[in-house]
Chain A
Amino acid sequence: MQSKSSMREAYGRVLVELGKSCPDLVVLDADLSGSTKTKDFGKNYPDRFFNMGIAEQNMMGTAAGFALAGKIPCASTFAVFATGRAYDQVRNAIAYPGLNVKIIATHAGLTVGEDGATHQTIEDISLMRTLPNMTVIVPADAVEAVQAVTAAVAFRGPVYIRLGRPAFPDLFGDDYQFQIGKAAILREGEDAVIFAAGIMVSKALEAAAQLSVEGLDVAVVDVSTIKPLDRETIVKLAEKTGAVVTAEEHSIYGGLGSAVAEVLGEQCPVPMVRVGVEDRFGESGSPEELLDAFGLTSEHLVKAVHGVRDRCKKR
């Protein structure tokens, strides 16, 4: 069984480290610091930690104010509130002026689990991706999460980082080098390619392993930066394989699948299947039950690869 690590724990730890090397770093939270793991930063740097209470709009506006004065604010809460509850603040106070605010949100997607639809954002990537100036990153494991947060703090401009609630399977070793805007090819292949993000990257690798038993050679790409999208890698793999599947724990509208379809539609139209949440809200359940119920498993990806290859044959 593959080892797993919590991205949130990793986020909490890297924040404390960054607090040492980056005196301008300030952290804001909205009464969820125990869950987002920003609490440890608060313990280590009480002067630079601001619990803003259950008031996400003011938190985003205050973060903008810190950035106006030259600070590097990280604002954390659940993804559904960071992007939905405070959308206008993120749009007008942060993205429009291009302020140096890092929105690092946890508990994204269906894997929030038992709390149900109100807390399961399946549209956050879509909301953030359409904002000019915004960079959007969806790490696939704890190692990538740490590197993404570090890169975001070093980067100048607004960044949205989407983290999950449960522990995700470990994918990357210490030698991995995350770069904003660069997709990581985790497995080469000729017969199809799966572009995945977040927890679906590990599912895509499982699917590719199952397909290799059947003699199919499927590439897997971790598209951790959804904006700016690594168009070059995406077009290259689409050209090479001629059959594309996207996989994300997000609505099939507006997220990774849409972003890839936009690029390929213009530059390299090939048969494609988007695996994600169909046009419906989530519900209560355990994370694994939900992923299964909403078609976000390696088995579903295997079917999707077969489906897209069948369409290629018919062409």
Chain B
Amino acid sequence: MSEVQDELIGGLQTKAQAIREDIIKMLAEARSGHPGGSLSSVEIVTALYFHVLRLKSEDPQWPDRDRFILSKGHAAPLLYAALAERGFIPREELLTLRKLGTRLQGHPPWGMVPGVEASTGSLGQGLSMGLGTALAGRLDRRNYRVYVLLGDGESQEGQVWEAAMAAAHYRAGNLTAVLDFNGLQIDGPITEVMSPLPFPDKWRSFGWAVREVDGHDFQDLIAAFDWAKTIHDMPSMIIARTVKGKGVSFMENAAGWHGKAPDMKQTAQALAEIGAGTDFKGDNKHAE
């Protein structure tokens, strides 16, 4: 690994740490929300916002920007934290999550929060919206790319597969989906509740280019995002193996932490385990 690469990954790790810290603080302050699936996607979303996506935080509507749609909308704290760290919204606002009058709704609302690209939260809908935006980009001859983050439990929704079929049919090469494969949903392991496996075979048979990665390994993730950009005649799927609740020992691999906030004691422990972050501006050479 080159020195530049070392520096990039070190920076991303620092950013991920800060975002994890934000997530825990936001959920503790809100006293409700979804830690498990927010923490499992931290590296995926950090890699996107601080390395992959071409964005201008001072111009959130920049027509040529890459789009990120959080289809698993319950990971809203993660999205808001990334948007704050990336300069789209003030960091102080993060602690208003889920409170009356806030822009930071329990699930991401389009049109209210700069940088939020679609209203999500009702599972299974983000890929369809991503497809529409991708097809519009092709019509307009813009070279932006659209990234959609799906949950593994979410993959039980039929609409996901309708969208998978349509994206392959229309050869949406500018559409990349990432699957947060943490293996757990509210009621337990996905294989016990309603198995959507095997993921790679399913997506391949639907006409997608598929690559499997370690969803907490930045090197792996960055290589996969680079790979996705080289595919132009079909949509691409990055299946990211992750750990639900990653980074907080008592939340890891515990379905019970899908949708509940830590109390004061648990918050202190979680923050201690995550460790304090330093201020990193990111190595987003495409941005600004």
Contact = CB atoms under 8 A, between A and B. Distances in A.
Given A26-B139, A47-B139, A71-B139, A63 B125 contact: no
B90 interface: no
Interface stretch (A14-22, A49-57, A168-176, A275-283): A49-57
Contact of B162 (A57, A67, A68, A70): A57
A48 interface: yes
Interface string B130-149: 11111111011000000000
Contacts of A70: 63, 136
Interface in B150-176: 158-159, 162-163, 165-166, 169-170
Nearest to A60: B128
A61 B135 contact: no
A282 to B, nearest CB: 27
Given A53-B166, A55-B166, A69-B136, A62 B129 contact: yes
B117 interface: yes
B158 A69 contact: no
Contacts of A53: 162, 165-166, 169
Contacts of B130: 65
B96 interface: no
Contact of B133 (A68, A88, A97, A98): A68
B136 A89 contact: no
B121 interface: yes
A93 to B, nearest CB: 5
Contact of A63 (B109, B118, B132): B132
A58 B136 contact: no
A150 B167 CA distance: 30
Contacts, number: 108
A68 B170 contact: no
B140 A62 contact: no
B111 interface: yes
Q: How big is the B interface, by class?
A: 20 to 34
A139 interface: no
A92 B132 contact: no
Contact of B131 (A62, A73, A89, A97): A62
- Decide if the interface of chain A is mainly helix, strand, loop or mixed: helix
B269 interface: no
Interface string A80-93: 00000000110111
A69 B136 CA distance: 6
Interface in B108-134: 109-111, 117-119, 121-122, 124-125, 127-134
A11 interface: no
A92 B130 CA distance: 15
A123 B264 CA distance: 49
Contact of A65 (B63, B132, B169): B132
Nearest to B169: A53
A64 interface: yes
A70 to B, nearest CB: 7
Contacts of B118: 64-65, 68, 93, 97
Nearest to B129: A65
Contacts of B63: 70
A155 interface: no
Contacts of B136: 26, 65-66, 68-71
A113 to B, nearest CB: 29
A65 B121 contact: no
A52 B119 CA distance: 21
Contact of A58 (B122, B140, B166): B166
A96 B133 CA distance: 18
Given A48-B139, A57-B124, A57-B125, 12 more contacts: A26-B136, A47-B139, A57-B162, A58-B162, A58-B163, A62-B163, A66-B135, A68-B117, A71-B139, A92-B122, A93-B119, A96-B119
| 3 A-B pairs closest in CB distance | A65-B132, A61-B128, A69-B136
27 contacts: A26-B136, A50-B135, A50-B170, A53-B165, A55-B166, A57-B124, A57-B158, A58-B128, A60-B128, A61-B125, A61-B127, A61-B159, A61-B163, A62-B131, A64-B128, A64-B129, A65-B129, A65-B136, A68-B129, A69-B136, A70-B63, A71-B136, A73-B132, A93-B129, A97-B110, A97-B111, A97-B119
